[in-house]
Amino acid sequence: MGAISRRNMLAGGAVATAAALGLSACGRSGGGTRAGGGDGKPVGGASGSPSVNARPVNLIGDGSMADTGPQPNQPEATRLQPGQRPPQFVVFSWDGAGEDSKQLFSHFRAVAQEVKATMTFFLSGIYVLPEGKKDLYNPPGHRRGASDIGYLADDHVRATLEQTRGAWLEGHEIGTHFNGHFCSASSGVGTWSAEEWRSETEQAMDFVANWKTNTGFHDLDPLPFDYRKELIGGRTPCLLGQNQFLPTAAAMGFKYDASSPGGNQMWPEKKHGLWDFPLQSIPFPGHSFQVLSMDYNMMANQSGGNPKGDPSKRAYWQQQSYASYMAGFNRAYTTNRAPFFIGNHFESWNGGIYMKSVEQALREIAAKPDVRLVSFRQMVQWLEAQDPAVLAKLRTLNVGQKPTDWKQYTSVTPV
């Protein structure tokens, strides 16, 4: 890698590291009221998630999914008023999104309820596929059933389905992290054609759409949504293959992609007709270079990608990663108000310090005024509700550029 890519270290890292880390390498898994549309309405759910049985249920296919009506707990996306300063949007997203013995999926759902946030959970399709049925997965360029992340134990597949169901009812987005997380230079996702990406994406949707047939868990309630309609975005493994994936994603009706590595903290634009929501380069305290806004990239720069790094340094690393997230947030919050994107995995690297640092940052950010903790889906809805001319003006604001007068940027005509 060159100097920049070496420092940022693409999420997922070298294939040898990903394979050695197994499932964890990919995410096996008090603030005031916040709103996604800048209209003062809460984004997070109420204290108890609504039951799918309290909503009209129209089963789909084998009963793995159901049409239960519009997703609950969604804000109304409203257009900025002329001269209005944009709210500070922050998206916390999770790659893999499986519930295992660490119970981090359920933990961060609970945290989101406390701070009234919604998030994006990028579900890996094979996390709802029992290992005994792994031959149903036909990954491009690999033998049937192959995967560079481990399959979940059956009880964790069950738990993941239950968490996915509850998360959607609380207002969170269920995106995709695809399936086998292949990162090798010779046959990984970076080498796949548009047709191979379509196969991988369709298989990820199929595993979600047919989990009852594949698992035999007929005692569980259906997922309360149609994933084929719900799915509008994802993040590719290792942040690779975006150029080949985007045409397929656009043809399949996706609205956004979150796979770009090393984006700047500027207002989003589109690639191939999809909103581009990159992991962003943010200040890295103690260093002259920046780091990507993701736990893996913090670890790569702190312990060389070793998830069991020096215990004597962990307290410092935890504080450093927290300070990095907050530096990225404050740079946007106090200047151009560009949406801030943070990506993480459900992991326990270096003693779980990154789960602690991101939770600390999440809670502190949620307490700030005029902050909107939203999902990528809600971010898309808000952007598409805006005047395109206003968004074009906002995109002229550089990283850390503070307007002297917001009226120049959120009014269609100069004031």
Q: Residue 413: what pLDDT?
A: 64
Per-block average pLDDT, block size 10, for the chain (415 residues)?
A: 37 32 32 32 38 76 96 95 96 97 98 98 98 97 96 98 98 97 93 96 98 97 97 96 94 96 94 96 97 97 97 98 98 98 97 98 98 98 97 97 93 64
Collect all residues with Cβ–Cβ distance below 8 Å to 101 and sequence separation of at least 6: 156
Burial grade of 5 (CB within 10 A; 0-12, 13-18, 19 or more) = exposed
Give the up-direction half-sphere exposure of residue 247: CA atoms within 13 A in the CB hemisphere. Answer: 7
3.40.50.300, 2.40.110.10, 3.20.20.370, 3.40.50.10420: CATH of 3-410: 3.20.20.370
Q: Residue 412: what pLDDT?
A: 76
Is-contact 74 170, C-beta < 8 A?
Answer: no
From CA 327, how far away is CA 285, in angstroms rounded? 8
From CA 331, how far away is CA 337, in angstroms rounded? 8
From CA 111, how far away is CA 104, in angstroms rounded? 10
- Looking at the DSSP bridge assignments, the partners of residue 275 are 256, 270
Q: Residue 64: what pLDDT?
A: 98
Q: Residue 24: what pLDDT?
A: 27
Q: Residue 53: what pLDDT?
A: 54
Sheet holding 274-276, edge to edge: 256-257, 274-276, 270-271
Give the up-direction half-sphere exposure of residue 291: CA atoms within 13 A in the CB hemisphere. Answer: 26
Q: Residue 30: what pLDDT?
A: 30
Q: Would you list the domain boundaries of the chain?
A: 3-410
